[in-house]
Amino acid sequence: MVDQTRLPDLHMRRLSTPDELVDAIRRLVVRGAPALGVAGALGVALCARLYATEAEVRAHATRIAEARPTAVNLGWGVRVALASLGHGPDAVLAAALKIRDDEIASCHAIGARAASWLHDTRAGAPLRMLTHCNAGSMACVEWGTALGVVRSLHAIDRVESVLVDETRPLLQGARITAFELAHDGIPHRVIVDGAGPSAIARGFVDVVVVGADRIAANGDVANKIGTYPLALAAARAGVPFVVAAPESTVDPHTPDGEAIDIEDRGADEVLLVAGHRLTPIGSSAWNPAFDVTPADLVSAIVTERRVWLSPGSRS
């Protein structure tokens, strides 16, 4: 897999054991809800070839599923692959590869559906868009969810430019989203996270499009920390706030955002930059990986099957 911690420099990693996969998931070598689902499923396929007993495979699969708690797709991919365990390793691999292919197809469908909806609801000049974190090919295997929407609109000449939040503390926007947009020749500018709400308030943004790591049954959305302030700013400015995600990210067993387990990550991600300490010795840090945007701040959730208009819909 591509080591996402090294982007924009391109480095490949080969993973041969469940321990290596768990470490890669925790260190964000692989990240993004759909990509985590595929990685989890392929991890089960790997275990099915490495271990002789079903008990061993299931034990390692549990470790993989629990490597990151917030992204629902990881555990989902593991469960779907495990369902084929009784039919042998080849069947598990086939199930994992089907998840991969289905995720690619769903992202293309999400992009097309969201582009059509935005084309109809925001008719006129090409759109000035803003996105946060990375929900593109690196996070979603090939096309992307939020960036899939950007790509689909770009294909019909409906994108003027994209503002890309840098996405502290690990800079997924600056390192990964900008890398993908530059590769595709889509006009963009990187901004510091704190500038996003101000850009919306000043009328520089026509639509905010983000991905999601878990969507609760009531439409509350967990996404990378820093998403919630964008939704607040969009609501105040009357700008559509669109969430693009596959149906597999919708968790009917999580009733609302309060029930979502928010991952806290290590303090060094905040206190250090590229291994260099920028803060005084003795300073501590709080590092939640995600925040929750309430459903009433979301204009629409677009999946491969539907456009889910939320209570706060602002089309």
- Residue 24: its H or E element: helix 18-26
**In b/e form, how buried is each residue of 104-116, taking b as 16+ CB within 10 angstroms?**
bebbbbbbbbbbe
> With the C-alpha atoms ordered 252, 238, 228, 113, is the resulting torsion angle positive or negative?
positive
* Amino acid of residue 296: D
Residue 32 · residue 138 · CB < 8 Å: yes
Name the catalytic one among 193, 206, 213, 291. Answer: 213
Query: Can you tell me the distance from the alpha carbon of 50 to that of 265, in angstroms, rounded to the nearest whole number?
Result: 30
Active site residue 291: no
Length of the chain: 315
- Residue 75: its H or E element: helix 72-82
User: What is residue 108's three-state secondary structure?
Assistant: helix
- What's the maximum distance between 2 C-alpha atoms anywhere in the chain? 61
- Residue 150: its H or E element: helix 146-155
Q: Rg of the chain over CA atoms, in angstroms? A: 19
> Residue 209's beta-bridge partner residues?
242
Where residue 28 falls (left for φ over 0; alpha for ψ -120 to 50; beta otherwise) is: left
Active site residues: 213
